[in-house]
Amino acid sequence: MTGRTEPSTSEGSAPTGGGRVSRRNFLKTSAAAGAAAAVGGSAISTNPDIVAAQEQTDREIVHGNCWISRASCGQAITVEDGRAIDLTGVDGHPKASGGQGREGTLCSKGVAQLDKTYNPNRIRQPYIRKDGELQSASWEEAIEFAAERLEQFREEHGAEKMLRYQGYPLTDTHDKLFQRIYGAAIQVGRKTTCHGPFSDSWGWMGGYGREWPDWQNSEYIIAWGRNPMECFRGQWEPNGILDARKNNDATLVTIDPRYTKTAQKSDRWLPIEPRTDGALALAMGHVIIEEGLYDEEFVENWTYGFEAYRENVEDKTPEWAEEITDIDAEEIREVAIGFARAAPRAIAFPWTGIAYQGNGFKNAQAIHALNGLVGCIDHEGGTRHYRGPSLSDPHAERGIELPDAHEDADLPDYDDYPYQRHIRNYSHNYVPTMVEKGDIKGYVSNWSLPPKSGNTQEWLRALDEMELVIVVDAFWNAVSKRADVVFPDSSQIEQPFLGSGGDSCYPTRTWVTASNAAIDPLWDTKPAFDIYKELAEEMGYGEYFPWDSEEEYLDEKLDAVDMSFDELAEQSYALVDEYGYQQYREDGFNTETGLFQFDLAPNESYAALADELGVSTAPEWQPVDDDIYGETTDDEYPLLFTDVFVEQISRGHCQALPESVEEYLDRYGRAYDDYEGNYLHINPRDARPRNIQTGDMVRVESRDDAIELPAHVYEGVRPGWIATVNGFGEGSVHPEEAGANTMTLNREHHVEPVSGQVDRNHPVEVTKAGGDGA
């Protein structure tokens, strides 16, 4: 199918009130849309006397769990007459506080949650595509339509041609229905759009999914390409770092070409030449070994491949790295020694700044190696192997065996495809080609927006080409507008929640957190669990969803920790089991050798790829190289462009929230501009010769494409390097698609070769839009 048109009714797609949202505006817009009845009948009124009377009524505080960053911060929500009117964090909550006795808070995104719930731009009822038009439908119609189309799709193409694109579902029944029961075998996950180079290198070296720092107990913290003071997953992170600074006199070092809020709090900011992090890490390893400051006991007893690592860093002096990284050799030496002396209460922690690089895997490997070298792995104040409690599987509890319909699927093999070298099969960027080859013909997702994550133009075409697109979401965007079925999900505070962890301010405790729906679902929306249950029933799989309600389903999950859902929701959170540090001393590392692996030679698939690429399996510096590791700048495209996070707009749907957008703009002093998109941050040394001033519209042109957005000229970014905040522009959730979609510059081949993750660094030239700026 091609040439899909946008929804035919104006109610869902047209922004209301210029994106201005408040409870007052909500009352106005609700009344105008005739939606008052849908949100509780006579409870809502715009009559001033009635509103005044309502303000005299009792209020109650109930719990929620913020899902904007998938951190599940416990919320205390003030509800009055069925309306949520205020919220803050739950005191002592594992994510929303700094620990016991500390007040809970929410970050600016979390506080903007009401903006999400009462947003007039929300999708308010189901939609189905008929005769090429997306039309509003009843739930019965939409469920029946989706079930029929899914069945027809499987008969015609086979369920394995339905792509499950990983999003942010509030329920695990999305995967249970589509993967296990229906048989959609192919999933593209966030490891190829967000953190693959970091997580995969860590997984193969350290043997579990992902480390996370034990912030509050640390004495030396290196924030390496991450900005935890503003892109935190829960308030415990900035609090933990500030606690470490105050209580342990911890040193904080930020390595980032951008001056961030983390840099602001740091003892040292190392504004590194982008994509040279591996060279810096190797030089630090060189110093630590030369000075005899590494942890001999850990290296000898618990690691594999130290000799290969030692060999690779032997000649990697700070002076060698200074040439590459533009960091003073003496400073490299000082940071290496400071880090090693503080160890094992020390952390070198990389994140998206590293993962977004085409040579990110090798850079991340060299950084992880430092943690192994000083023995801070799973150590108090070091990296931490956080655990979550095991919860019961409600299906197992009821003796229901879910089918494995996806297991024997005949899946395509792209091992020989030039941009498909990576070990993780099926990269995000490769999906459009898979569609073109006929290996993917359908798409299901829940709160996801792939065209902002890479290869945008091809993705937009691919979505148009697909035979069946089904989405669960709350906002109109490039995917929901192209869908055949749009199921309007309730926002988080309109549905029950259960979460467990995991990283938190309680580094030796597992925990669970839960909340009931704080308010009834608005308009004609439904919680995701209910959507999947109804869809399953319509498809003839009712036997797999016997629970009357989601609360009942979640209640059974908590059997393992002997709590009821209501009990937990009432108290918001509970600390469960205790567990110790250095768990490897009992369990070993879950790697091929049972040891922490500096050298990944024992990992057969990586060893084969490294051989093909002609690189070492041990940590090594890999410069960017046009074909494989990322494009380099030259005279024609002299600036390196990438995108970054800020606290106000760091996740999925924040661009739809006027409060979040306004605060992002105000952070750079631009809240009073008549513009609601992203700005291009550029150093005066790059702006001046191009005659660019703050507020000027500029054109960012790469070898492949161009975008336009206004400039913000300031000293907080490295000359030669420019950046913006992602998620805006074409296809985004912003009601007017304001700003620029950075991934318009991205193409299929822009992938990191090991993990298949999108490479978000592009050489560009910047000019004033509409001329030479003269």
CB of 25 to another protein, least distance (A): 5
CB of 667 to another protein, least distance (A): 6
- Kindly write out the interface string for residues 258-287 of this chain, putting x where it contacts another protein by CB under 8 A and - elsewhere: -x-x--xx---x-x----------------
Residues near 698 by beta carbon (within 8 Å), at least 6 away in sequence = 680, 682, 690, 692, 708, 709, 710, 711, 766, 767, 768, 769
Q: Does 56 bind another protein (CB under 8 A)?
A: no
In the 8-state DSSP scheme, what is residue 217? G
CA–CA dist 404, 409 (Å, integer): 10
Strand partners, 596: 303
- Residue closer to another protein by CB (options 40, 719) is 719
CA–CA dist 435, 463 (Å, integer): 9
Residues 123-182 that bind another protein (CB under 8 A): none
- Residue closer to another protein by CB (options 89, 169) is 89
- Residue closer to another protein by CB (options 171, 325) is 325
Which span (154-162, 196-204, 476-484, 678-686) binds another protein, by CB under 8 A?
678-686
Which span (15-23, 64-72, 481-489, 614-622) binds another protein, by CB under 8 A?
15-23
CB of 461 to another protein, least distance (A): 35
Q: Does 89 bind another protein (CB under 8 A)?
A: yes
Structure tokens at 18: 């210029």
Structure tokens at 90: 């739950």
Figure out which of the listed residues 672, 771, 772, 774 binds another protein, where binding follows CB under 8 A: 672
- Residue closer to another protein by CB (options 20, 70) is 20
- Residue closer to another protein by CB (options 535, 722) is 722
Could you give the count of Cα atoms lying within 13 Å of 573 in the half-sphere of its Cβ? 32
Find, among 424, 748, 430, 420, the residue nearest to 606 by Cα: 424
Structure tokens at 565: 């859902």
Q: Does 475 bind another protein (CB under 8 A)?
A: no
Neighbouring CB atoms inside 10 A of 24's CB total 11
Q: Does 18 bind another protein (CB under 8 A)?
A: yes
Q: Indicate the residue type of 377.
A: I
Do 138 and 683 contact (CB within 8 A), yes or no?
Answer: no
- Residue closer to another protein by CB (options 71, 431) is 71
Figure out which of the listed residues 8, 9, 25, 392 binds another protein, where binding follows CB under 8 A: 25
Which span (190-198, 317-325, 664-672, 698-706) binds another protein, by CB under 8 A?
664-672
Q: Does 690 bind another protein (CB under 8 A)?
A: no
Figure out which of the listed residues 668, 694, 708, 769 binds another protein, where binding follows CB under 8 A: 668
Bridge pairing between strands 762-768 and 697-701: antiparallel
User: 355-393 burial by CB neighbour count: b if 16+ within 10 A, else e?
Assistant: bbbbbbbbbbbbbbbbbbbbbbbbbbbbbbbbbbbebeb
CB of 640 to another protein, least distance (A): 15
Number of residues interacting with another protein: please give it, by CB under 8 A: 58
CA–CA dist 396, 393 (Å, integer): 5
CB of 101 to another protein, least distance (A): 12
Tell me the angle at which helices 277-290 and 306-313 cross, rounded to the nearest 10 degrees: 100
Residues 631-650 that bind another protein (CB under 8 A): 647-648
In the 8-state DSSP scheme, what is residue 392? P
What Rg value do the Cα atoms of the chain yield, rounded? 26
Residues 480-539 that bind another protein (CB under 8 A): none
Residues 103-122 that bind another protein (CB under 8 A): 103, 105-108, 110-112, 114
Structure tokens at 536: 């399953």
Figure out which of the listed residues 256, 659, 737, 752 binds another protein, where binding follows CB under 8 A: 659
CA–CA dist 421, 133 (Å, integer): 40
Which span (83-91, 134-142, 609-617, 700-708) binds another protein, by CB under 8 A?
83-91
Q: Does 229 bind another protein (CB under 8 A)?
A: yes
In the 8-state DSSP scheme, what is residue 650? -
Q: Does 221 bind another protein (CB under 8 A)?
A: no
In the 8-state DSSP scheme, what is residue 46? -
Q: Does 239 bind another protein (CB under 8 A)?
A: yes
Figure out which of the listed residues 230, 458, 503, 752 binds another protein, where binding follows CB under 8 A: 230
CB of 294 to another protein, least distance (A): 30
- Residue closer to another protein by CB (options 241, 536) is 241
Q: Does 242 bind another protein (CB under 8 A)?
A: yes
- Residue closer to another protein by CB (options 261, 749) is 261
- How far, in whole angstroms, is CA 421 from its chain's centroid? 24
Which span (140-148, 183-191, 228-236, 469-477) binds another protein, by CB under 8 A?
228-236
Helix (H, G, I), strand (E, B) or coil at 53: helix
Figure out which of the listed residues 82, 638, 669, 770 binds another protein, where binding follows CB under 8 A: 669
Alpha-carbon torsion, ordered 416, 439, 422, 745, to 10 deg: 110
- Residue closer to another protein by CB (options 663, 752) is 663
- Residue closer to another protein by CB (options 175, 243) is 243
Residues 710-769 that bind another protein (CB under 8 A): 714-719
- Residue closer to another protein by CB (options 264, 301) is 264
Residues near 244 by beta carbon (within 8 Å), at least 6 away in sequence = 215, 216, 217, 218, 219, 221, 250, 252, 381
CB of 669 to another protein, least distance (A): 7
Do 675 and 738 contact (CB within 8 A), yes or no?
Answer: yes
CA–CA dist 149, 134 (Å, integer): 15
251-255, strands of its sheet edge to edge: 268-270, 251-255, 220-224, 346-350
Do 707 and 723 contact (CB within 8 A), yes or no?
Answer: no
- Kindly write out the interface string for residues 591-630 of this chain, putting x where it contacts another protein by CB under 8 A and - elsewhere: ----------------------------------------
Strand partners, 643: 724
CA–CA dist 664, 671 (Å, integer): 8
Figure out which of the listed residues 7, 12, 16, 19 binds another protein, where binding follows CB under 8 A: 19
Do 265 and 242 contact (CB within 8 A), yes or no?
Answer: yes
Neighbouring CB atoms inside 10 A of 707's CB total 25
CB of 48 to another protein, least distance (A): 12
Interface ranges with another protein (CB under 8 A): 18-25, 55, 85-89, 103, 105-108, 110-112, 114, 229-230, 235, 238-239, 242, 259, 261, 264-265, 269, 271, 647-648, 658-663, 666-669, 671-672, 683-685, 714-719
